[in-house]
Amino acid sequence: MLFYNRFLILFFALLILTVLSFFVVWQNINDEPYVLFYRVEAFVQISLASALLILWLQLAVFVIVGLFRKWLSRYNLIILLWIMINCFLIGLAMVGYMSDIEFHQQKIVSWVK
């Protein structure tokens, strides 16, 4: 019964984090290039993405501890690959957002001068 509970927690955590990560990355793909700064976009692309990265890393620690303590089988190593892919895509979305805003803000400031 305990194994079943851990599996359900892991499954639902993966599902929820994957859906939220998909939302952040999809919004970044659809809205790019970011020309003007909006608080809602900044909240999603920076704050929500940072929180998702922290949660993904916590899940990675849970999986690694579970593998070492034999709570999870070695076949669950594929979960670590999925975590790395999601962290890479979220980080790429964050960097893309920040570089777009920085680039366009510099253009706006140079037009004002």
Q: What is the DSSP string of 11-50?
A: HHHHHHHHHHHHHHHHHHHHHPSP-S--HHHHIIIIIIHH
User: What pLDDT is recorded for position 112?
Assistant: 58
Q: Which H or E element spans position 106?
A: helix 77-112
Torsion on CA atoms 48, 54, 55, 59, rounded to nearest 10: 160
Is pLDDT above 70 for 104?
yes
Residue 108 vs residue 52, higher pLDDT: 52
User: What pLDDT is recorded for position 35?
Assistant: 77
Please count the residues of the chain.
113
Per-residue pLDDT tens for 39-71?
888 888 899 999 999 999 999 999 898 889 887
Residue 91 is encoded by which pair of tokens? 């980080």
Count CB-CB contacts under 10 A for residue 110. Answer: 8
